Amino acid sequence: MHRERFYTLTASCPDQVGIIARVTNFIAQHKGWILESSFHADDLDGRYFMRIEVKADSLPFHLAEFRSRFQPVANELQMDWRISDSAVKKRVVVLVSKQEHCLYDLLARWQSKELDIEIACVISNHDTFKGFVEWHGIPFHHVPVTADSKAAAYAEVRRLFEEVHGDTMVLARYMQILSPELCAAYPGRILNIHHSFLPSFVGAKPYHQAYTRGVKLIGATCHYVTEALDQGPIIEQDVIRIDHSDSVEDMVRYGKDIEKTVLARGLRYHLEDRVLVHGNKTVVFR
């Protein structure tokens, strides 16, 4: 990760000859210094994807002017694109229930600046971690969720997210199913860690399902949240080998370690604009 300030341009467009030349020539014409670049062509869908980091102080203008000057190029290439500034920290809202391992891991990475973000607040349907979160100087909001209060609860989650100007919502073992309205409001901005190597064993108690099935690999999946339960575009996954001697409790213990690392990696890729969503798939430039 570069310490100097840079802009990150991410884009996708119909595949054609000359895309790289057109974009990099635009940057070069304005004396832009490219620090990192990644490209991918999807032959099946005929789609082209790119991610380019440009040294901010090599350009003679700021981000707003970059956007206005680059727009004709984007129009010409029929491009879906965005550009971000590394100097602007992303604001993350964490949702959690009663399991602490992912929350503890994220706060440790935030405190050590391994994740260079602002944690705007933590929201939970229980008050279990109120003291722990507030000890870190982070606002904590207890928003109970019951069968009768779901609509009001998720309206409050949305209000809080907007109030703190959240960029990304992270479900750090938040054991509730978000409302379709909340999912639809923030496409590509809500991340979940599912304690299973999806698409196998969706829903509750996947380790119990895996144990009953007699699998030899268990894993975890970081994915974007959509209205379809555990079916959103996958960002990151990992597995660990097990055998017949491992109990459900062993599998849960192993799984917690995988969940922490997979969520942290997936969140980092997202925050660094390394993930481009295309349909229900992702292109991840590591």
Q: What is the residue-wise DSSP string for 241-266?
A: E--TT--HHHHHHHHHHHHHHHHHHH
Six-digit token string for 90: 């992303």
Mark whether 15 is an active-site residue.
no
User: What burial letters (b/e) apply to 119-146, b meaning 16+ CB within 10 Å?
Assistant: bbbbbbbeebbeeebeeeebebbebebe
Instruction: Please list the residue range(s) of the chain that carry CATH number 3.30.70.260.
Output: 6-85
Per-residue pLDDT, 199: 62
- CATH 3.40.50.170 range(s) for the chain read 91-284
> How far is residue 250's CA from residue 209's CA, in Å, rounded to a whole number?
14
CB burial of residue 244 (10 Å; 0-12, 13-18, 19+): exposed
pLDDT at 256: 92
pLDDT, block means (10 residues), the chain with 286 residues: 85 97 98 98 96 97 96 98 97 97 97 96 98 98 95 97 98 95 96 79 75 84 91 94 89 91 98 96 96
pLDDT at 2: 54
Q: Distance of CA 94 to CAs 89, 192, 231, Å?
A: 15, 10, 20
The DSSP code sequence of 76-131 is HTT-EEEEEETTSPPEEEEEE-S--HHHHHHHHHHHTTSS--EEEEEEESSSTTHH
Give, in order, the Cα–Cα distances in Å from 67 to each of 72, 137, 280.
9, 36, 28
Give the position of tokens 């928003």.
143
The architecture (CATH level 2) of 91-284 comes to: 3-Layer(aba) Sandwich (3.40)
In this prediction the pTM is 0.93
Active-site entry in 15, 80, 116, 230: 230
* Ramachandran assignment for 14, one of left (phi > 0), alpha (psi -120 to 50 degrees), beta (any other): beta
Query: The domain 6-85: what is its CATH number?
Result: 3.30.70.260
pLDDT reported for residue 102: 97
